[in-house]
Structure 1
């Protein structure tokens, strides 16, 4: 996400990786009990860690982002707190320019045309829809194509935050729109027609139906999913058996067969994955704190587990990409199990699966986020507050946490979940938006009768910001990926080198 202070959420790379374990003594525990915590969530985390010990990074992130007690998205500490916009913590691409959402709407229209213009059963699904700006721009654009607009059966908004659901409803339905409840979620009529907008806290609440055509958009959603971090370390040497008889001494010999074994297996110790855990930092005395610092000191830290954990024994063995790094000393990897689950869900809805068979694949998913194209993310955890880069371990609940998206892992999970899909990308956001016609659309908006030179200048600055290919530019750091029905390579989607196929 990007801010008006020119800080892009996807361009900040840092992590606090402590390589030691802090073992609280009775004295330090007593001092901590009197410690002033920055937020109620910080105190809750302290009490949990003090009771059970260090927790996985994924657990910490989940509590910070969606916890009931002051979670960043689900339990705002202050009234009317807005995470988005100039007065919040960051600005997203749809907030920068309406053209972004319009082009995504055009992308799905092109897919609808290429898939035979289905007259019914179309679902629009957005996961992590923010303030609803993206869906609003998409729906407004789709209204220009009445046949597709009429084919949309429901618009699903997968949103965990009650506050954001209310914001989305006001934008998409109007402040006075009525609401009804069903097993799927809360329904309200769209301001764009009779199509209902349905809010649900989890995508699992949306049935996977073989006769539906799901069009799924995930913009800056995967970056907020919790990650696990692992480091390779020498495994403990196996204990010698106490029941084995002592070996008889061998006569000295200069023959090669009797020399000590110096093979690689003997010289290279066996390696194992250890998990990076979140622990409590020692209290910082007022005398040692920097008087010029405006940021609160981190209240938590990453420490390396002293032995394997349930996650470290399972997750790094889930892909040959991770297994190939195991023997590299001190190798670091980040794994997001939730991302793989969502990718598999998307693939099953589009292409079918053994559990959810589908007569013919249909639908599409478009994913836009920042992350790595073919390497495993490393040291990418970041915190952003008020458009500034801050420690992800300070003021929990008031800081947005995110990590680089592993696009390769998403593609791997999708293709393993369904034989009826194929994956395109990732490609840079700049390439995608330019192929979709962002320059041409911006020029058209700038020539609208009555537009002021200042407004035209703002339009130009906004679209160029979205395609900036500089080292930390949004056009380079952000990437696009598409999941489509398997078509044996007969066509590529619009924006990925292909064209509309009627």
Structure 2
């Protein structure tokens, strides 16, 4: 069994928000006929005031090269050296995470989340023969390090697996976040030295080495190792390309050449269907919400965004390749005005995870081992569309305003992750995605929360005790909330495991330890 894709009860479900924040409208891509602004010349106005230094930098680049793919815009906004949301120098007092930041992640909501992830890896370690050495813990996009801290704190209670771990790897591009992670996992006074691989320190719970790299490719692929990989709310922040099917009239089709005659069956008087890419350019000064096609219900008195999304007037190199990279995308070319979002970076990471676990032609692994656990949001079995969103101060905001100060994210295409993983390695299979509520429920979240409530009751009295119990109860129920837009429903879990012919399902996906 190469994969066991669990079909959603509501096909086409769209995530309501990146994090559990107030509802707000999502981005709506322009229709194939809404191209007027894309042809409007961009007036070079030195006096124009931009909201951020990155906005000005983006404009200067686009004025030189022309409109850029949506993926390029996202990448610059999130990881630019100057002013990037995660990699630029943080403004005084600014924090992306937590109540005072822009969003809250599951590990920040309740310690139980990270503890159960740690238990999941313990269960996988047991099911794979309890290897005595060579285990690696790898987290991509570790945030402030809260999840890994809870995982390590949990695993240290299981001495056999704790002693089998060779190292912990944290894949983090932001220098500021690396420091925050080091302070939490190793202590503020712990030294951090740099090498060719990355940055090194020592875990506060043991003598376990912790290594930071800015790329997963910097982590050596050793066939003797057993990697346990976690990616929580990582794939949603990877840049996406967006494409739409358009009917190109004969007058706009490229002419035939003597070396490339049209087939006898082709009809030169009919329209040809093509994929066109959504591209980003500065909004011309004086443009209004009406010019951009923004519905009145979505304006809410907001300023006109500084950048706009339009349809490329001709095929880009991405449009010629990416929509042809999967049968799922190719099938939609026959659907008028069909929209798709494609994330090449997500496929690269899923392929890397699979190769580390099951081996690949480039890195053979005689005995597949390890596991990857991906927790994120997106539809269970359909291709995401219209999912780009901005988050700031726990509110949905436009993704094309204040670049570098707004978190950007998009729905994860879980089926595409499965395709990439199983294509990269014959030694892996995938389980899920399953809803987060089902995964955490099977992992025993209610029972663990009850233990914490009893512990709180024994440690305190009166109103303080009641407050703590209410906080614990509210937090874990928030993680498994299955109402429309609830975290338990919109978030999914996906596992990549060594190929075993479907004989064993992992814990949380319908199986048990050793089952």
TM over 0.5: yes
The residue aligned with 2:488 is: 475
Aligned CA distance change for structure 1 residues 240 and 102 (closer, same or farther; 3 Å): closer
Alignment deviations for residues 84-129 of structure 1 (CA, whole Å, 9 cap, x no partner): 0111000000000000000000000000000111111100000000
1:164-313, aligned counterparts within 5 Å? 164-237=177-250, 238=253, 269-284=271-286, 295-313=302-320
| Equivalent position to 1:144, from 152, 157, 181 | 157
Paired residues in the alignment total: 477
Is the 1:295–1:390 contact (alpha carbons within 8 Å) kept by the matching residues of 2? no
**Quick one: distance in 1 between partners of 2:24 and 2:240?**
17
Aligned CA distance change for structure 1 residues 10 and 338 (closer, same or farther; 3 Å): farther
The residue aligned with 2:5 is: none
Q: Give the 3-state SS of the residue equivalent to 1:442 in structure 2.
A: helix
Report deviation, 1:17. Answer: 2.3
Alignment deviations for residues 308-327 of structure 1 (CA, whole Å, 9 cap, x no partner): 01000000000000000012
Report deviation, 1:269. Answer: 3.2
The residue aligned with 1:462 is: 475
| Structure with higher RCO (Cα < 8 A, 6+ apart) | 2
Aligned CA distance change for structure 1 residues 446 and 265 (closer, same or farther; 3 Å): farther
**Quick one: distance in 1 between partners of 2:25 and 2:228?**
32
1:20 is aligned to 2:35: yes
**Quick one: distance in 2 between partners of 1:363 and 1:307?**
45
Aligned CA distance change for structure 1 residues 13 and 112 (closer, same or farther; 3 Å): farther
| Equivalent position to 1:29, from 43, 48, 65 | 43
Report deviation, 1:328. Answer: 1.1
CA-based RMSD: 2.6
**Quick one: distance in 1 between partners of 2:153 and 2:90?**
34
Is the 1:180–1:188 contact (alpha carbons within 8 Å) kept by the matching residues of 2? yes
| Equivalent position to 1:316, from 317, 323, 335 | 323
**Quick one: distance in 2 between partners of 1:228 and 1:287?**
24
| Equivalent position to 1:81, from 91, 94, 106 | 94
The residue aligned with 1:120 is: 133
**Quick one: distance in 2 between partners of 1:92 and 1:351?**
30
The residue aligned with 1:443 is: 450
The residue aligned with 1:388 is: 395
Report deviation, 1:284. Answer: 3.8
Is the 1:16–1:302 contact (alpha carbons within 8 Å) kept by the matching residues of 2? no
Structure 1 range deviating more: 369-378 or 281-290: 281-290
The residue aligned with 1:347 is: 354
The residue aligned with 1:373 is: 380
Q: Give the 3-state SS of the residue equivalent to 1:101 in structure 2.
A: helix
**Quick one: distance in 2 between partners of 1:179 and 1:242?**
62
Aligned CA distance change for structure 1 residues 24 and 232 (closer, same or farther; 3 Å): closer
TM-score by length of 1: 0.90
1:52 is aligned to 2:65: yes
Aligned CA distance change for structure 1 residues 490 and 78 (closer, same or farther; 3 Å): same
Aligned CA distance change for structure 1 residues 77 and 176 (closer, same or farther; 3 Å): closer
Q: Give the 3-state SS of the residue equivalent to 2:118 in structure 1.
A: helix
Is the 2:229–2:371 contact (alpha carbons within 8 Å) kept by the matching residues of 1? yes
Q: Give the 3-state SS of the residue equivalent to 2:37 in structure 1.
A: coil
1:408-419, aligned counterparts within 5 Å? 408-419=415-426
Q: Give the 3-state SS of the residue equivalent to 2:210 in structure 1.
A: strand
Aligned CA distance change for structure 1 residues 117 and 11 (closer, same or farther; 3 Å): farther
In structure 1, list runs of 5 or more residues that go unmatched: 244-260
| Equivalent position to 1:134, from 136, 139, 147 | 147
Q: Give the 3-state SS of the residue equivalent to 1:372 in structure 2.
A: coil
Is the 1:270–1:327 contact (alpha carbons within 8 Å) kept by the matching residues of 2? no
The residue aligned with 1:255 is: none
TM-score by length of 2: 0.88
Alignment deviations for residues 118-163 of structure 1 (CA, whole Å, 9 cap, x no partner): 1111000000000000000000000110111111100000000111
Is the 2:399–2:406 contact (alpha carbons within 8 Å) kept by the matching residues of 1? yes
Structure 1 range deviating more: 70-79 or 310-319: 70-79
Aligned CA distance change for structure 1 residues 10 and 188 (closer, same or farther; 3 Å): farther
**Quick one: distance in 1 between partners of 2:149 and 2:468?**
21
The residue aligned with 1:330 is: 337
Aligned CA distance change for structure 1 residues 48 and 402 (closer, same or farther; 3 Å): same
Q: Give the 3-state SS of the residue equivalent to 2:332 in structure 1.
A: coil
**Quick one: distance in 1 between partners of 2:38 and 2:425?**
46
The residue aligned with 2:20 is: 8
Q: Give the 3-state SS of the residue equivalent to 1:29 in structure 2.
A: coil
**Quick one: distance in 2 between partners of 1:118 and 1:242?**
63
**Quick one: distance in 2 between partners of 1:465 and 1:188?**
34
Report deviation, 1:22. Answer: 2.5
Q: Give the 3-state SS of the residue equivalent to 2:83 in structure 1.
A: coil
**Quick one: distance in 2 between partners of 1:463 and 1:225?**
27
Q: Give the 3-state SS of the residue equivalent to 2:448 in structure 1.
A: helix
Q: Give the 3-state SS of the residue equivalent to 2:196 in structure 1.
A: coil
Structure 1 range deviating more: 144-153 or 294-303: 294-303
